[in-house]
Structure 1
Amino acid sequence: MRELKVVEIRVSTGDAVPLVVLEEVDGSHRLLPIWMSHGGASAIFSATEDPDPERPNIHDLAWRLVDSGSDALDAVRIVAYEDGQFFAELVLGSRCVAARPSDAIAFALRAGCPIHCVDEVLDQAGIDPAQGVSPGEPAGADDEVERFREFLDTVNPDDFTGDAGDP
């Protein structure tokens, strides 16, 4: 299990699907791009701002309910990646509750708790910036980061379904 942090939230007014990029805190600093709905991205954005205690949004309200219970939110986990979909869970003491990754990330940011990811998900869907977008092509670190950003601008969720596609 690896700890991750949010390094980028990308939302476009066009047809592009919102994207959050998580980065491995230690180790090879692999990046994990997760596509989500506009609502999910909005929840993550709002979790980075001060909440309105008099008019909480749904994530703040849910967080208040969780925080007032007997089990505090210890962590969130990205636990699986299947057919282009990520799966997450909230860790509440000894209990784990299934959640969408966008909701789990929003809760983690609001609660200030860690985001973890199982190694298999990072091995399957993570991107190693040291390898670059085109593995085997030598370049400086700045070039690699720029190529990855260009990759993020052009990639879409269907690129990660695992389907070989028809020639």
Structure 2
Amino acid sequence: MIEVVIDSIRASLMSQHRVIILRERESDRYLPIWIGPYEAEAINIELQQIEVARPLTHDLLKNVITEMGGTILYVVVNDLRNDTFYARIVIQMDSRRLEIDSRPSDAIALAVRARVPIYVDEDVMERAGVNPREEEIESESLESPEAKLEESPFRDLIESLDLDDLGEAGEE
């Protein structure tokens, strides 16, 4: 398992969905997971330490687990099937260790409240993780600077300008 931290939560400009960006603690590899706006807000409220008058759903779940004698140990994003992430909430209850199936957004919202580690299964990170620097290097090695300039919108703009007209306008 790979320990991750919450890097950011970003909003899509095209829909109401949010993406939570998990960053590997020991490297620059990231795991983006799409989540709903309410789950994003629940995570943000805790991260920003905003006081709420009454317990929210994830606060309630944490309180129930604690009152029943359980301890949340950690959460793990443990699977990716058909473009859907799966997670588990790992709870110690007396001598038993329970693993509860969960959506990643709910598991993460609970983890930030319980202040426990968030992990990602190595296979999931291998399949869905992103390393921006590696992609940048790969992209740079595939294209020469001339090829990049050939395809750039800036190049198109330059080529569409009539430089003769520019000279005449400057003389007036």
Which TM bucket (shorter chain)? 0.7 to 0.9
- Which residue is 1:110 aligned to? 113
- Which residue is 2:54 aligned to? 55
Q: Give the Cα separation in 1 of the matches to 2:106 and 2:136.
A: 28
TM-score normalised to structure 2 length:
0.72
Tell me which protein shows more strand as a share of its residues: 2
TM-score normalised to structure 1 length:
0.74
* Closer, same or farther: CA 133–101 of 1 in aligned 2, 3 Å: farther
- Which residue is 1:87 aligned to? 86
Q: Give the fraction of aligned pairs with identical amino acids, expressed as a percent.
A: 31
Q: Give the Cα separation in 2 of the matches to 1:112 and 1:77.
A: 14
- Which residue is 2:34 aligned to? 35
Letter in 2 for 1:106: A
Is residue 2:96 matched to residue 1:97? no
Tell me which protein shows more helix as a share of its residues: 2
- Which residue is 1:135 aligned to? 138
Q: Give the Cα separation in 2 of the matches to 1:16 and 1:70.
A: 37
Q: Give the Cα separation in 2 of the matches to 1:119 and 1:14.
A: 31
Q: Give the Cα separation in 1 of the matches to 2:32 and 2:109.
A: 15
Letter in 1 for 2:29: R
- For the Cα contact (< 8 Å) 1:72–1:92, is it kept in 2? yes
Structure 2: which 5+ residue stretches go unaligned?
A: 142-172
Could you list the per-position Cα deviations for residues 13-59 of structure 1 after superposition, in whole angstroms to 9, with x for gaps in the alignment? 65252100000011x3310000011122112112222443x511111
- For the Cα contact (< 8 Å) 2:2–2:24, is it kept in 1? yes
